[in-house]
Amino acid sequence: MSTPQPNPDDPPTTTTTTATTINTPTTPLTPTTSTSTSTPTSTTYTHPSIRLAPIPGRGLGTLATRPIPRGTRLVADRPLLAATNTQMLNAELFAHGLTAAHATLSADGRRQIAELAAREDVVGDWMEFWRLEEVVDRVAGAGAGEGAWAGAWGGVGGGVGSREDEGTETAATTSVEEKAHLMAAWSANCFGVGEGESAGGWAGVIAARAARFNHSCVPNAGFAWNDALGAITVHAIREVEEGEELTVAYGDSTRRGAKRREALKRVYGFDCDCVACAGDEEELDGMRRRIKALKTELARRADGEQEISSELVEEGVRLHERAGLVGSPLVNFYQCAFAATADRRYLEEELRHCIYWQGDDHPHVKELMERLASV
């Protein structure tokens, strides 16, 4: 298993799919904090200090080949397939729309999808679905349903990896096995995009290189959708040592251990044995409970109680760092702190940690810079 989906508690329905044309930026995908002079490709930037490698018991993963500073952009990857929430509402429509979009990808794009991890049991479920669909098509007349599905989907095209006139692949000629793997690969590999973060309205995307990061409940990297690039980015959110595996959190890492593992098992089918799950769970769960209580308390504070709130903030930051909850959890905590105190330094810290996590070219980072200038 080597691919993230941001919220295991809210997975895609029975399936998940693609959308119309992907946001295609005119600027190249380049590092924001890396000193690398390597030239990125038109669709994917990969930092030269990382490599794909087999990880015992974890499939393929991403390793650091030398020390990597905090805030370094590791990957910027434009998606092959994307979908809006509306397109994902109906599982059957979604499946047909996704396979139609998949058929527009180049041979290389389809190869990248085929190489992504997929749960065998989910593949099996989709095999049954597509075999039944084949029977229905034969009864209705060969290929009779393809145009109807395309119309119902609303005219989907491929993403960055789409082709103009390469080959004769269509959804009707794609094998049952390939369709089943596609649907299972989406469920295991899609990245969620927050509401309002994508001008194209995307709620889920598949970015094949960005998907090659394994999970940890205390990750050393974080992913985000960068609408300015039309890409998923992954950044180091703490210092990374040479030879260390780079990981992201597939779900809400602030939840207590049993709940995290239950969600990961249900959605991804693996038992998490990261350092947080294998360590002193009682102590770590206690830290998470205290962090939650501090955020609740901060929300109750009036703007005039800065001194008391500052003490709470300092405790919360220490707990986040001790528990390894940096990246987006710490950013969220600083947001709460600024809302409670109106203290400029917490907005500054939110900005600093957003740059580590999202990069200085992220639209949210630029909004924070403008906001800070007016405080």
Q: What is the pLDDT of residues 318-332, one digit of tens each?
A: 999 999 999 999 999
Say yes or no to pLDDT of 20 above 90. Answer: no
Would you say the C-alpha torsion 223, 225, 229, 230 has a positive or negative sign? positive
Burial of 185 (0-12, 13-18, 19+ CB in 10 A): buried
Distance CA 289, CA 125 (A): 38
Length of the chain: 375
pLDDT above 70 for 117: yes
> pLDDT tens digits, residue range 137-181?
888 765 544 544 444 444 333 454 454 445 456 777 899 999 999
What are the tens digits of pLDDT across the range 290-309? 999 999 989 887 656 666 77
Q: What is the pLDDT of residues 174-213, one digit of tens each?
A: 999 999 999 999 999 999 999 999 999 999 999 999 999 9
Q: Is it the case that residue 21 has pLDDT exceeding 60?
A: no
Q: Which residues contact 105 (CB under 8 A, 6 or more apart)?
A: 80, 81, 113, 158, 159, 161, 162, 163
Strands 214-215 and 245-248: parallel
Stretch 6-34: mean pLDDT: 35
Q: What is the CATH number of domain 1-278?
A: 2.170.270.10
Q: Averaged over 231-256, what is the pLDDT?
A: 97
| 287-299 burial code (b ≥16 CB/10 A, e <16) | bbeebeebbeebe
If pLDDT is split at 50, 70 and 90, which confidence band does 41 have?
A: very low
Q: Between 24 and 326, whose confidence is greater?
A: 326
Q: How confident is the model at residue 366 (pLDDT cuts 50, 70, 90)?
A: very high
Residue 28: pLDDT band (50, 70, 90) is very low
Percentage of the chain surpassing pLDDT 90? 70
The two structure tokens encoding residue 248 = 């992201």
**How far is 257 from 58, CA to CA, in rounded Å?**
20
Half-sphere exposure of 189 (CA within 13 A, CB side): 30
Structure tokens at 158: 């491929």
Report how far Cα 350 is from the mean position of its chain's Cα atoms. 21
Range name among 80-94, 139-153, 330-344 with the lowest pLDDT average: 139-153
pLDDT of 48 > 70? The answer is yes
